Amino acid sequence: MKSNETTQLVDRLKLLPTATIFSAVRHFGFDPCWMKDVHTFTPGQKLVGRAKTLRFVPPRTDILQQTDLGENSPEYEAMGSTGPGDVIVMDAMGKSWASIGGDVKLLQLKINGAEGLVTDGAIRDLDAVKEYGFPLFAGGRTGAVGVPDIHPFEAGGTIQCGGVVVCPGDFIIGDNDGVVVVYSEIAQQVVEWAEKHESYEEFAKSLIESENVSPGKYYPIDEELLDSLRKPN
């Protein structure tokens, strides 16, 4: 996907609620796409960007020796590649109590201009990290370190987060309701369907309110019916 196409999609995704995007992704047969037990810790901040990935695993002595490489470790490789337009997504195996990092480690994301962070693990030093200004979505918050529960293992691979598969380059969208993943190959179709569906829902709500009728008259959405009502007499 060309950069200008990505920019246009991102701008359009920013105008759509995650609930409608979720319905759109499911419409095209990609489910699960909604991250379970991953919540915003920065209410009111919308998140849209392309995924950069980091996978954690349970600690094991030989793996620790292979990956504990200081500034060249997988976590810094992943965060170092996350810049403007990118969202770092961290697979903590659903361990919502286990820290994926705190204010020192995550400072790299602020320096690089990352769009935000999503994890099914926990964020340490949360109040300090919130000051960095980008959206934060996580399974929890903690004051403890991640070891002995998780250890960063691989950057840039296919992961899961909140029970959803995430590939590098997928679109990540988050708002107060939660986080949805839009697989890059269907992003254009998802946006078009979601925009159309939002238009139908707004029209249905206006009819329900003006007629003072049960929502069941117009919901679930019947596009043919609504189109017929939109036509001039």
pLDDT digits (tens, 9 = 90+) for 141-173: 999 987 789 999 999 999 999 999 999 999 999
pLDDT band at 231 (very low <50, low <70, confident <90, very high): low
pLDDT digits (tens, 9 = 90+) for 172-194: 999 999 999 999 999 999 999 99
Least reliable range by pLDDT among 122-126, 146-150, 156-160, 214-218? 146-150
pLDDT band at 4 (very low <50, low <70, confident <90, very high): confident
Other residues' Cβ atoms within 10 Å of the Cβ of residue 187: 24
Q: Where exactly are the structural domains of the chain?
A: 32-182, 189-230
Query: How far is 36 from 120, CA to CA, in rounded Å?
Result: 8
Query: How far is 65 from 15, CA to CA, in rounded Å?
Result: 45
Residue 233 in this model has a pLDDT that exceeds 70? no
pLDDT of 143: 96
Pick the CATH number of 32-182 from 3.40.50.670, 3.40.50.720, 3.50.30.40, 1.10.3720.10: 3.50.30.40
pLDDT digits (tens, 9 = 90+) for 36-53: 999 999 999 999 999 999
pLDDT of 17: 98
pTM of the model: 0.95
Q: Which residues contact 110 (CB under 8 A, 6 or more apart)?
A: 132, 133, 134
